[in-house]
């Protein structure tokens, strides 16, 4: 699988001189199998650039959403293939407690965005999954509930004999409601080739941000070590985290097993 990052920032886009290198767009990741099948993870503002690249194609596009918080859906109204006549777009929503499976289209009401979903030239299907695991072309997908306000879904994706886990907006040690225990997370991500995990906070953010639904970088690193994953990508950077601070974090965890990378817009990985 090839994994390319189009948006790595949590909560809100952060353009500016201090975030240029790691990027200011909110979450969007493209996964491509060896045969060329594609899966888009989340629809933050990073999906705008991806959409421009996808305009050359005609195949059905599949979006797999973690949850419907704004930073994970807000790029969709600017996703060019949605305006492409004849294009098929399938959206698989995350399993949230509110269960508003069409939230990504609801944001295109006249009050928040001028173009209504029924005016889009593409054909959009929203297909909530009832099973916890399913085959989607080359991809075998399993999901797991997020520890996050309103919950959502993490995904374990297998293709071509390799595995990826996408776990963002997840608090490994939530103070109150636990949807998935630490032991269950360990089981879910054990042995994956690539773990993309939320690392929005640092120790200095606590206890103020306890219960906000994100993890410390150090907690994600410990999980990755215990789970013997091959590589960890820290994702959903805090809006206040500068390129310099992310460089320092990369430095702090360099030379360790597993390898720890800070997600960066434009970064391409293979597993
Ligand atoms: Zn969220």
Domains and CATH numbers, the chain: 2-270 (3.60.15.10)
DSSP 8-state secondary structure symbol assigned to residue 9:
B
List the shell of residues around ion ligand 1, using CB closer than 5 Å.
69, 169
> Among 35, 62, 219, 199, which Cα is nearest to 126's?
62
DSSP 8-state secondary structure symbol assigned to residue 54:
H
Task: Quick: pLDDT tens for 178-232.
Answer: 999 999 999 999 999 999 999 999 999 999 999 999 999 999 999 999 999 999 9
What separation in Å is there between the alpha carbon of 258 and the centre of ligand 1? 26
What separation in Å is there between the alpha carbon of 92 and the centre of ligand 1? 16
Task: Quick: pLDDT tens for 35-85.
Answer: 999 999 999 999 999 999 999 999 999 999 999 999 999 999 999 999 999
* Cα Rg of the chain, angstroms: 17
d(Cα 70, Cα 82) in Å, to the nearest integer? 18
- Report yes or no: 121 and 83 within 8 Å, Cβ to Cβ: yes
What separation in Å is there between the alpha carbon of 86 and the centre of ligand 1? 32
What separation in Å is there between the alpha carbon of 69 and the centre of ligand 1? 5
What separation in Å is there between the alpha carbon of 81 and the centre of ligand 1? 25
């Amino acid at each position: 699988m090839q994994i390319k990052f189009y948006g790595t920032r949590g909560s809100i886009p952060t353009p500016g001189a201090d975030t240029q290198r790691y990027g200011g767009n909110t979450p969007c990741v493209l996964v491509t199998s060896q045969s060329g099948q594609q899966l888009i993870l989340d629809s933050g503002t990073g999906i705008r650039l991806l959409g421009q690249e996808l305009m050359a194609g005609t195949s059905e596009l599949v979006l797999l959403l973690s949850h419907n918080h704004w930073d994970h859906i807000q790029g969709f109204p600017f996703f060019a293939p949605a305006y492409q006549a004849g294009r098929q777009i399938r959206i698989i929503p995350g399993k949230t407690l509110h269960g508003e499976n069409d939230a990504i289209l609801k944001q295109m009401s006249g009050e928040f965005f001028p173009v209504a979903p029924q005016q889009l030239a593409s054909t959009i299907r929203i297909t909530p999954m009832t099973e916890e695991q399913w085959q989607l072309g080359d991809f075998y997908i399993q999901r797991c509930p997020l520890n996050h306000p309103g919950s959502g879904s993490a995904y374990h994706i297998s293709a071509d004999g390799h595995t990826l886990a996408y776990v963002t907006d997840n608090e490994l040690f939530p103070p109150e409601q636990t949807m998935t225990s630490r032991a269950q997370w360990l089981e879910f991500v054990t042995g994956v080739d690539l773990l993309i995990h939320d690392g929005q906070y640092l120790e200095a953010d606590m206890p103020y941000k306890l219960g906000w639904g994100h993890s410390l970088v150090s907690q994600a690193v410990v999980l990755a070590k215990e789970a013997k994953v091959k590589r960890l990508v820290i994702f959903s950077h805090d809006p206040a985290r500068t390129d310099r601070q992310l460089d320092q974090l990369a430095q702090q965890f360099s030379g360790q097993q597993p390898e720890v990378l800070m997600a960066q817009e434009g970064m391409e990985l293979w597993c």
